[in-house]
Structure formats: C-alpha cells, structure tokens
Amino acid sequence: MTDLGPLNYFLSISVSRTSSRMFLFQKKYATEILEHADMESCNPCRTPVDTCTKLTAFSPPVKDPTLYRSLAGALQYLTFTRLDILYVVQQICLFMHDPREPHMAALRHIL
C-alpha cells in the first residue's frame, strides 16, 4: 500500500477540507446524471416532487425501462450527499420492476 496523500476525490465524491470539517460533494456526478438523461439544460424547480400527483401502477409502460433503472440507481447513489431527495428517490425506486410513464415523469422532475 502507498499513501496517496489527502483525499480529494473517491467513488464520485469530491472532498473539501477545512481545519475542523470535511465536506462531501457530488456535483460532478449529478452533472453526469443529467447528461445521461439528456437534461443538462433543464430548469431547476422548488421541490423535488410534484405534490399534486400520486404514483400508481396503472398507466402505459415506459419505452426504455433500462434507462429508468439506470437513472433511478444513479439517483440512489446521489442520496449519499443529497438527503433532500432521499424520500422521492425511494418512491420512484418502488417501481423499478415495472416502470410506467408517470414514474418516468417523476424521475425527470427529480432531475
């Protein structure tokens, strides 16, 4: 084993240190998720979930369930540093086995 020096970046998590604290960031990883979803020019919203709709399993299936699962899994990893999206990511992950169009819309809303 060799000492590689102070930790700066590991497993898509950037580390910034002060004399008494360590801050973890995943900005680069979040940007990569947006690029993968082809949403890098999207506008931010106030809340990570649409409060008026309820997710159900009765709607048309998504065209590409692999993309849905990939983005949902990426968002799960992002919740290590973004606790504000933890609940809504858990809600969309409930439908990973059979994603539907409203689930994909909710996932895009989170992004």
Which backbone phi and psi does 58 adopt, to 5 degrees? -110, 80
Q: Average per-residue pLDDT in the chain? A: 89
pLDDT value, residue 5: 86
Give the residue-averaged pLDDT of 24-53.
Answer: 87
Give the residue-averaged pLDDT of 20-36.
Answer: 92
pLDDT value, residue 50: 75
The token pair at 106 is 């909710």
Residue 22's alpha-carbon distances to 16, 30, 84, 104, in angstroms, are: 6, 20, 19, 35
Give the residue-averaged pLDDT of 29-36.
Answer: 93
Query: Quick one: pLDDT band at residue 34, thresholds 50, 70, 90?
Result: very high
**d(C-alpha 62, C-alpha 6), whole Å:** 44
Q: What is the pTM of this model?
A: 0.84
Residue 68 has pLDDT above 90, yes or no: yes
Query: What secondary structure does DSSP assign to 18-79, as a single string?
Result: -SS-EEEE-HHHHHHHHHHTT-TTPPP-SSSS-TT----S-SPBPS-HHHHHHHHHHHHHHT
pLDDT value, residue 65: 93
Query: Quick one: pLDDT band at residue 46, thresholds 50, 70, 90?
Result: confident
pLDDT value, residue 4: 83
In tens, the pLDDT along 93-103 reads 999 999 999 99
